[in-house]
Amino acid sequence: MKKQEIYLAGGCYWGTEKYMASVKGVLETAVGFANGKTERPTYEQVCKENTDHAETVHVVYDEEQLPLETLLRLFYKIIDPTSVNQQGEDIGRQYRTGVYYTREEDKVVIEQSLAQLQQAYEQPLAVECCPLEQFWLAEEYHQKYLDKNPNGYCHVPWDLIDWVENIDPKEYK
């Protein structure tokens, strides 16, 4: 096993976390706030006080089972990569999309995957690719929110969550 980590901002972190946690090869997930200007922000601060954080999911994965390129392709299935500061009905700077890395070698992989993704769109992509500056865990009630609240709000289509949960990793495309 070769543990790696990546931080993914894809709108409301509840749905993004549920989807990523369902991917075979993902070992751990946690939701929080990345790359803002306030230390230890609360959810309420992020929503109301212009902290400039993105709702983000910390993803720990087994690179031998799930290469970063594949993980990113799966992530792109649940976002509109051309939408600025919005995913689904979630609107605001905290809902921007981004891929935040902790290893410099991941930057090349991310940039290549975004270049490949851009070929499918006429509009420019709005997905940030930058180093993780900081990550603050969200409050406990946000962690695994959709497991605790199965009828809770989710911008990610449930059929995609079911699909990724039930597909053989060799078939990830």
Which amino acid is located at 114 in the chain?
L
What is the Cα–Cα distance from 143 to 102, expressed in whole angstroms?
22
- In angstroms, how far is CA 44 from the centroid of its own chain? 20
Gap between the Cα atoms of 58 and 20, Å rounded: 10
Q: Of 12, 47, 129, 130, which is the active-site residue?
A: 12
Contacts of residue 166, Cβ cutoff 8 Å, sequence gap at least 6: none
Element (H, E) at 59: strand 54-62
154 among known catalytic residues: no
Distance from C-alpha of 17 to C-alpha of 35, rounded to nearest angstrom: 18
Q: Around 79, how many Cα atoms within 13 Å sit in the side-chain half-sphere?
A: 31
Catalytic residues: 12
